[in-house]
């Protein structure tokens, strides 16, 4: 009978051992490659934000806890480790410290540190904050993506001497009907219109804060738009780039956020649909470095540019653009009755104030009223005083737009020298008469545009009206608004408070 050989058995075992070793080696190689990829990825994340640390230094320890213009931030605090935590490695030679005692000492130290954090605070260095933010405002050469500002700079022409590009700025203040007026350009297919692009310069990441008294270990801080907002020259510089279809300066302030209200800008939505094939909700990210050159080319192929802004306070900050051979700058100065503007701003306040209709005079902000009326008198261009804006400026009253929307729109386009598209007139007809639907405070649709322009006469009390008239008498007279001397006349809508615009004011008249 043949004897079975036992030699294949060791060979089989050897093969199994080699297979196991090979599998282990492959697994170790995969893990090593994975760790290397993770290290490279983390290193890339650190290197991709080279300048974010600058802003972190400016607002160190400041984290948002609520939205709005009034915000709450934790107080910067420092705790001395030597003064709080015991040295766990130093023990007495006379006794042995058990692990349980060591952990108890550690927990005691952490509780002590927590108590110290509650009461020990480091004062916020205001000068260092402002210094860091000024560096961002004035000298910062790149954006939050690490891209160099010069990469997309100097894009105002396709080569040689470009033709003069019509650039329209709707120059307005808050609650003067600027959103409605901006739509007159947004609806025109030949305009590349942008709604409040300078909003980003007022975003908290680009504005310094002023701390006020600490309450329960936390400091409440408010935006100080006068002292700590970016300089007026920075606003003008960013706007100048936008009017030339150069968005490099704007991207510095957008950072990783999306473009404000991009979904309402019809030209940008068309670009996203035709070029990027994106839905409107993604369009706010169209100014990212990867897509920015395409936006620039699309903007340049659009004949005209228009921007609506309430952020620039001084029209003279744009005066240097009048001599720019590449731009034909036009200013549409939008004004509204100060009494109506102030009432509209009060209507945005919380419910406890809206319940006090008609608004009493104690709710009025005198600083706000003085700022508004000073802006009207300072910005209105007349034929009495020499001005470089003489041929580039036109004043429009919101009340005239509301009462004669089609006529005023036609005359506005005549001033600009641009053919009026039927889409604009269609939008005007659809949005200046009642539709029976409720709209929010920022809607450009009205039940009745004319009635909306007069509703303040029921929402503002007569003592409050008298106070605004006393503070804004010169501004109201300059642009043609009548004063009212009794509650009866205030409530009588048959009595118009809109007078003829003085002949010396450069304006569009109905």
Q: Where do runs of H (alpha helix) occur along 120-231?
A: 126-134, 178-186
Query: CA-CA distance, 167 to 332, in Å (whole number)?
Result: 11
266 and 367 together in one domain: no
State how far the Cα of 411 lies from the Cα of 388, in Å rounded to an integer. 22
Q: Across all residues in the chain, what is the average pLDDT?
A: 75
- Does residue 381 share a domain with residue 346? yes
pLDDT digits 0-9 by tens, 110-120: 444 433 333 33
Where are the alpha helices (H) located in 48-177, listed in sequence order?
Answer: 52-58, 81-84, 99-119, 126-134
Q: Lowest mean pLDDT: which of 136-145, 320-329, 331-340?
A: 136-145
Judgement on whether residues 230 and 375 belong to the same structural domain of the protein: no
Last residue of a domain, one of 294, 325, 356: 325
- Tokens 């035709």 found at: 274
In whole angstroms, give the CA distance from residue 392 to residue 415. 9
Same domain, 364 and 446: yes
Residue 35 lies in a domain: no
Tally of helices (H runs) and strands (E runs) in the chain: 21, 8
Q: Are residues 302 and 353 in the same domain?
A: no
Is 36 among the domain residues? no
Domain tally for the chain?
2
Residue 323 reports pLDDT greater than 50: yes
Domain stop point among 291, 325, 359: 325
| Among candidate residues 279, 294, 325, the one where a domain is terminated | 325
In the predicted structure, residue 211 carries a pLDDT above the cut 50: yes
Q: Is 488 a member of any domain?
A: yes
pLDDT in tens, 37-61: 776 665 544 443 434 444 444 444 4
CA 238 to the chain's CA centroid: 13
Give the mean pLDDT of 426-450: 63
Same domain? For 341 and 474 the reply is yes
Q: By three-state DSSP, how is residue 67 classified?
A: coil
Same domain, 342 and 306: no
pLDDT above 70 covers a percentage of the chain that reads 63
Based on the fold, state whether residues 304 and 365 are members of the same structural domain: no
Instruction: Name the token pair of 383.
Output: 């034929």
Is residue 145's pLDDT more than 50?
no
343 and 321: one domain?
no
| Spatial distance between the Cα atoms of 182 and 236, rounded to a whole number of angstroms | 19
> 297 with 357, same domain?
no
In-domain check, residue 32: no
Same domain, 415 and 491: yes
Where in the sequence is the domain holding 195, given as residue range(s)? 143-325
């Amino acid at each position: 009978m043949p004897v079975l050989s036992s030699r294949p058995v060791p060979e089989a075992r050897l093969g199994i051992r080699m297979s196991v070793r090979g599998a282990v080696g492959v697994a170790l190689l995969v893990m090593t490659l994975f760790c290397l990829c993770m290290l490279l990825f983390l290193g890339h994340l650190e290197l991709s934000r080279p300048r974010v640390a600058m802003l972190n230094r400016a607002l160190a320890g400041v984290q948002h806890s609520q939205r709005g213009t009034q915000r709450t931030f934790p107080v910067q605090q420092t705790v001395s480790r030597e003064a709080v935590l015991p040295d766990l490695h130093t023990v007495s030679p006379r006794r042995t410290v058990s692990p349980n005692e060591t952990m108890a000492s550690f927990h005691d130290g952490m509780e002590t540190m927590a108590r110290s954090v509650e009461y020990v605070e480091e004062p916020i260095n205001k000068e260092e904050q402002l210094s860091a933010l000024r560096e961002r405002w004035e000298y910062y050469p790149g954006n939050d993506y690490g891209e160099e500002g010069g990469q997309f700079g100097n894009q105002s022409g396709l080569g040689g001497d470009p033709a003069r590009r019509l650039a329209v700025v709707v120059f307005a203040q808050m609650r003067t009907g600027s959103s409605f007026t901006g739509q007159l350009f947004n609806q025109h297919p030949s305009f590349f219109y942008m709604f409040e692009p300078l909003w980003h310069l007022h975003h908290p990441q680009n504005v310094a804060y002023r701390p006020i008294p600490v309450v329960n270990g936390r400091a409440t801080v408010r935006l100080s738009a006068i002292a700590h907002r970016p300089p007026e020259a920075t606003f003008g510089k960013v706007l100048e780039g936008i009017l030339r279809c150069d968005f490099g300066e704007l991207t510095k302030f957008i950072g990783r956020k999306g473009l404000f209200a991009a979904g309402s800008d019809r030209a940008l939505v068309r670009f996203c649909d035709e070029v990027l094939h994106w839905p409107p909700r993604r369009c706010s990210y169209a100014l990212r470095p990867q897509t920015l050159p395409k936006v620039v080319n699309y903007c340049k192929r659009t004949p005209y540019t228009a921007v609506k802004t309430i952020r620039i306070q001084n029209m003279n900050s744009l005066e240097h653009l009048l001599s720019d051979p590449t731009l034909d700058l036009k200013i549409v100065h939008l004004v509204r009755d100060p009494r109506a503007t102030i009432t509209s701003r009060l209507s945005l306040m919380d419910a406890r104030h809206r319940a006090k209709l008609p608004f009493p005079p104690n709710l009025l902000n005198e600083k706000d009223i003085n700022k508004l009326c000073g802006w009207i008198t300072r910005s209105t261009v007349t034929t009495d005083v020499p001005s470089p804006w003489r041929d580039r400026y036109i004043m429009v009253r919101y009340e005239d737009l509301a009462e004669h929307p089609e006529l005023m729109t036609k005359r506005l386009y005549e001033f600009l020298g641009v053919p009026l598209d039927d889409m604009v007139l269609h939008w005007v007809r659809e949005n200046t008469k009642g539709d029976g639907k409720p709209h929010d405070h920022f809607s450009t649709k009205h039940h009745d545009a004319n009635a909306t322009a007069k509703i303040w006469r029921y929402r503002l009390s007569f003592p409050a009206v008298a106070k605004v008239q006393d503070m804004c008498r010169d501004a109201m007279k300059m642009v043609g608004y009548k004063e009212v001397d009794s509650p009866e006349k205030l409530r009588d809508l048959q009595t118009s408070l809109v007078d003829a615009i003085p002949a010396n004011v450069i304006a569009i008249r109905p």
